[in-house]
Amino acid sequence: MRSFPLIFNSELNCISSPIISLMASKNLEYRLAFAYIWGFTFSDEDPNFPGALGPRIEEGFNNVFECLSDFYNVEIIRHYDITTEEVYELIKEETSKGMPVIIFTDMYNCVWTNVFKKVHINHSCTIVDLDTSGNLFCIDSAPPCNGAIMKIEDFHASCKGCITINLDRYKNTNIDWRAILHNSVSRAYKNDTFSSLSKFVNSFNNSFDVAAEIKTAHGNEPSASYIIWRLLRISGGRVLFSLFLEHLGERYNNLELLNLSKEFKTISDKWKINQALVLRYMNNPENKDILNRLSNNFSFILESEVKMAEALSGI
């Protein structure tokens, strides 16, 4: 079966990950796609989950497609008003050329998930080939799956459209890297990244409610709660932004950017440590030492990200 390895499974969503992974498999540069990925949003309380912080956090990944188009001329084509028969014909056509198709589906019909035939959850997965019976060979970033068969009847029962990718006009030309860098910082300020982060840190310190967070999870498993997944995504986004800085530093021989890339990776590591600590605390809420450590780490993150924005603005 034709396939390619998925990268950045926890850092990107189930649509962006296969597109970036496809480019990596073809040795195409892609790191400018992460130019505008640095963000943080903390919205008002979700009435469906009173007291929970997790559903209020957003990480800001919706601009990866924009960057792929603007910087690399990658064409991402969405097919919504289309029958499953038409999607299947597209899959046959694209996979015969070695190109994947990302389908909008339902986890209920994805055999590799733990909710197969149990729960309906909107999802996307990537079709990379067809077997001799016409069933679909899928890969997935979340939950991670390096290859599984989706029966054609499950495909027809759940497919709601698809995405195709065109790399024929790919380009990687010189850019005004300072303008892009300053725009990335400007976007972070404009989207209230740091004020939102400050509000989150204050809310976490004053009102973190383990029971409320667990109620956001399917099956009341702490590891499946919104806050755990959102913190993991935020950590991943910081990893990707550090790769963007690394790319600029390498491409334009800028040692300062290379050093700041390493500092940003340290910030990402702190986010990931806190994600693990939040999960540990949710499983052991009597341990207030964990809570104190979390509070100190979040304060460090806030201070570090504000300083990073100032440093990048001055380059």
pLDDT band at 150 (very low <50, low <70, confident <90, very high): very high
Tell me which residue has tokens 């310190």.
205
pLDDT per residue as tens digits for the range 53-109: 999 999 866 689 999 999 999 999 999 999 999 999 999 999 999 999 999 999 999
pLDDT per residue as tens digits for the range 107-142: 999 999 988 999 899 999 999 999 999 999 999 998
DSSP string across 192-241: THHHHHHHHHHHHHHH--HHHHHTTSGGG-GGGSHHHHHHHHHHHHHHHH
Whole-angstrom CA distances from 132 to 92, 126, 129 are 12, 18, 10
Q: What is the rounded CA–CA span in Å between residue 171 and residue 63?
A: 19
Domain 16-166 architecture = Alpha-Beta Complex (3.90)
Q: What is the rounded CA–CA span in Å between residue 207 and residue 205?
A: 6
Residues of the chain with CATH 3.90.70: 16-166
The token pair at 143 is: 């939950």
- The pTM (predicted TM-score) of the whole model is 0.93
